[in-house]
Amino acid sequence: MRRFKSAFSVLTALLILSGLVAACSSDAPTRPRPNEGPPPTGGGSTSFAVTVSSNASELLVGTNATDQQSAIVTVSVRRSDNGQAPPNGTTVVVTTNRGSFGSPGSGTTSVVLPLTNGGAAIELFGGMVLGTAIVQASISGSVGSVQIQIVEEVAFALNFLDPNSGSPAGGETVVVNGQGFQGPVQIRFGFRIVNPDGSIRFDTSTAQAVAITPTQVTIVTPPSLATVGVGDTAIVNIEFTNRVGTANETTRTLEGAFTYALGGTLVRPVISSISPKAGPNEGGTRIRILGDGFESPVQVIFGNGASPAGFQGVEATIESVTRGELVVVTPSATGVGQDNRNSFVNILVRNQSSGFATIEQAGFQYGQSNVFVSSISPGQGPHFGGTVVTIFGSGFDEPVAVSFANVAASIISVTGSEIVARTSGVVLTSCNNVEGPTEVVNIETSDGATGPDFIYVVAEPVVSSIVPSDLGQAGGSVTIRGVSFEEPVQVTFGERRGSNAVVSEGGTVIMVDAPSFVGDFPTETCTDGSGLAGVRSLPVAVDVVVENALTTCDDTLQEAVIYSPDDTSCRPAPPIAGFAFTANDTLVTFQNNSRNATSFSWDFGDGTSSGSANPTHDYISVAAGTTATFTVVLTATNVTGSASASQQVTVTAPAP
């Protein structure tokens, strides 16, 4: 069968235990107990606290009448008033809407159970229908319930291991992720082993399973059966057997699922850049190696060799290690039997725990120049200059010339291994940092060297707040807060520039006078007091732009300031003139289509006029049997002014 073992034995144990408790109670002294006496008949007003529980929250749906999972449903009853159990023999009615009690496929959905010491238990079989089984227990109107889900079996599958690498010594905790896991389980690690004679054999080692859930199995890795050397790995398959020893035993294999490596890590070092790339034969050059996968303890060797196994050289002194950067001090070019003077050398970086290594070919040059620049500090400063920079290296001899990004610096002090200089301002052509090499020249010998880049930082202004943000139509004084404001600064409100802008020390505050608003405010329609349609001006939001004039760097705070119009009343809308007409012989009827007007004036083009809104006019001057055309002009007027519209009107006088 593919189902769990029947819970009948558990139920039997519970019933036997209840009987033993009752038997022990009968041997006790004859002093009456509160729960002794005849069972309640169902009358009275006693209420009870009824608790129903199950030893399983889910049961797999059955495939036939006998192949079903079951759960033990336990009922506990206590009086609500004193917490005592009802008398032994008191009955409780237990019902279910799904599955059956007692045995698979019995069809029994309601049972009456006698209570012993307030408790009873019954075995529920889940049945062959998916859904939720609601099991209720009731006594004297008091009810308790529990829900048990009847679900389909989840297909057994393997996904991945986390972590998926570990030490060859084993003993590490790993989680196998997947679905449909059911105990007992067995997990084997499959190894491909190279024998001393070069032949290949395959062997397995069993991992210890320490915890099982339907989606995860926690295991302890076995030791590697394959030898894992320095910088080497052993990749194994995982063979997972589910429900070992049952009729539904199933095995799945996850290929290449786990890797053994020294140090338990697969991280490999990678070099992306080295700076500086040259230094004196005596060593002592402080260099930065950038890349990825560096893990302490790390070994850095300057020397020669195409592979890590045969690399020969001298170890550098390690100052600091992060995953992406190594800071080391170069060894002497002639250390430990090496003679790399005035030549290029390779650089090997090895993670000592795992043995993984990488080699940078021709990564460093010894003896490049009598003057050597190894590093600078700091490596950047503001574009306007004034940064005090210390240049480290060797062969420095006063007088010297120093430049950063081709901009000459002023010298503060010089020793053979250090120069202290102050940067000058750099001329900007855009809002971009200016970056270039550090150059040192001994003026008397013209001997010089180039070192790391120095960056002139062009700070971009950032606006954080503007107070006040609501202005009248005339503008007013505004305080702008943020960072990296530099004089001279320009502040633009919408399309107009503010005036009298002053930047605080530290570049965090700007005091500026916002200009008045010039332009058209947006409007909305309204009705004035006389009922005439009109328009009302609305506030308008404008962008505020802060620009450092020398660098052209700027920041925009969109719709940061709101200008409110001085006049927010409902103003009559200007009149719009328009009309239509219908001609019948010489009689013309005019339809006035004007808007927002309070009075009208008609010029009919024949020397006559009218002040009516919709007049009718007879062109009697047209001779019988003739046709004539007239220009009609309508003028519409209100308190804001007037507007006119004209059309050609043609009439025909009938023949006599």
Note the pLDDT of residue 368. Answer: 62
Closest among 97, 87, 161, 160 to 124, alpha carbons compared = 97
Note the pLDDT of residue 24. Answer: 35
Phi and psi, residue 241, nearest 5°: -110, 125
Note the pLDDT of residue 36. Answer: 40
- Residue 504 placed within a domain: yes
Does residue 50 share a domain with residue 176? Answer: no
In contact, 236 and 150? CB cutoff 8 Å: no
- Residue 125 placed within a domain: yes
- Alpha-carbon dihedral sign for residues 219, 224, 228, 234: negative
Cβ atoms within 10 Å of 561's Cβ, excluding its own: 23
Note the pLDDT of residue 525. Answer: 87
Closest among 346, 333, 331 to 281, alpha carbons compared = 333
- Residue 397 placed within a domain: yes
Does residue 325 share a domain with residue 215? Answer: no
Does residue 211 share a domain with residue 103? Answer: no
Domain final position from 264, 288, 305: 264
Beta strand residue intervals within 443-497, DSSP E: 447-457, 462-467, 470-472, 476-483, 489-493, 496-497
Answer whether residue 370 shows pLDDT above 90.
no
What gap in Å lies between CA 111 and CA 7, rounded to an integer?
Answer: 18
Domain final position from 571, 594, 620: 571
- Residue 3 placed within a domain: no
- Residue 2 placed within a domain: no
- Residue 228 placed within a domain: yes
How many alpha carbons lie under 13 Å from residue 8 in its C-beta half-sphere? 7
Does residue 440 share a domain with residue 376? Answer: yes
**pLDDT > 70: what percent of the chain?**
93
- Alpha-carbon dihedral sign for residues 261, 267, 271, 274: negative
Note the pLDDT of residue 637. Answer: 94
Does residue 433 share a domain with residue 387? Answer: yes
What gap in Å lies between CA 355 and CA 70, rounded to an integer?
Answer: 55
Tokens encoding 363: 């990564």
Query: Confidence band (pLDDT; 50, 70, 90) for 231?
Result: confident
Note the pLDDT of residue 396. Answer: 84
Does residue 13 share a domain with residue 147? Answer: yes
Choice among 282-286, 378-382, 527-531, 592-596 with the minimum mean pLDDT = 527-531
Note the pLDDT of residue 45. Answer: 66
Does residue 166 share a domain with residue 136? Answer: no
Those residues with Cβ within 8 angstroms of residue 337's Cβ, 6 or more apart along the chain or in another chain: none
Strands 571-572 and 599-603: unpaired
In contact, 458 and 473? CB cutoff 8 Å: no
Does residue 127 share a domain with residue 22? Answer: yes
What gap in Å lies between CA 205 and CA 185, rounded to an integer?
Answer: 14
Does residue 639 share a domain with residue 550? Answer: no
Note the pLDDT of residue 248. Answer: 82
- Residue 71 placed within a domain: yes
In contact, 577 and 644? CB cutoff 8 Å: yes
Closest among 465, 482, 485, 478 to 549, alpha carbons compared = 485
What gap in Å lies between CA 284 and CA 394, rounded to an integer?
Answer: 9
| Residues linked to residue 332 through DSSP beta bridges, in sequence order | none
Query: Confidence band (pLDDT; 50, 70, 90) for 151?
Result: confident
Q: Which residue has the higher pLDDT, 282 or 289?
A: 289
Q: Which residue has the higher pLDDT, 315 or 342?
A: 315
What gap in Å lies between CA 327 and CA 290, rounded to an integer?
Answer: 9
Task: Give 166-184 pLDDT, tens digit per residue.
Answer: 999 999 999 999 998 988 9
Answer whether residue 438 shows pLDDT above 90.
yes
Answer whether residue 91 shows pLDDT above 90.
yes
Give the three-state DSSP class for 16: helix
Domain final position from 132, 151, 170: 151
Looking at the structure of the chain, the number of domains it has is 6
Task: Give 565-577 pLDDT, tens digit per residue.
Answer: 998 888 888 899 9
Q: Which amino acid is at 15?
A: L
Total-model pTM: 0.40
In contact, 152 and 59? CB cutoff 8 Å: no
Does residue 525 share a domain with residue 507? Answer: yes
Closest among 5, 156, 132, 149 to 68, alpha carbons compared = 5
237-262 mean pLDDT: 91
Q: Which amino acid is at 136?
A: Q
What gap in Å lies between CA 310 and CA 478, rounded to an integer?
Answer: 71
| Residues linked to residue 110 through DSSP beta bridges, in sequence order | 95
Note the pLDDT of residue 416. Answer: 76
The CATH number of the domain where 12 resides is what? 2.60.40.10
Task: Give 193-227 pLDDT, tens digit per residue.
Answer: 888 888 888 999 999 999 999 899 999 999 999 98
Note the pLDDT of residue 126. Answer: 86
336 Rama class: left (phi>0) / alpha (psi -120 to 50) / beta: left
Note the pLDDT of residue 592. Answer: 95
Convert 286-302 to b/e letters by CB count within 10 Å (16 or more is b). Answer: bbbbebebbbeebebbb
Closest among 48, 52, 54 to 87, alpha carbons compared = 48
Range of the domain at 304: 270-366
In contact, 162 and 173? CB cutoff 8 Å: no
Does residue 542 share a domain with residue 627? Answer: no
Task: Give 11-63 pLDDT, tens digit per residue.
Answer: 444 443 344 334 333 343 333 333 444 444 444 468 999 999 999 888 888 87
Answer whether residue 473 shows pLDDT above 60.
yes
CA distances (Å), 249 to each of 236, 240, 242, 330, 625, in order? 23, 10, 6, 62, 114
Does residue 18 share a domain with residue 130? Answer: yes
- Residue 1 placed within a domain: no
Q: Which residue has the higher pLDDT, 1 or 231?
A: 231
Q: Which amino acid is at 482?
A: G
Note the pLDDT of residue 27. Answer: 41
What gap in Å lies between CA 329 and CA 352, rounded to an integer?
Answer: 18
Instruction: Specify the DSSP class assigned to residue 264.
Output: G
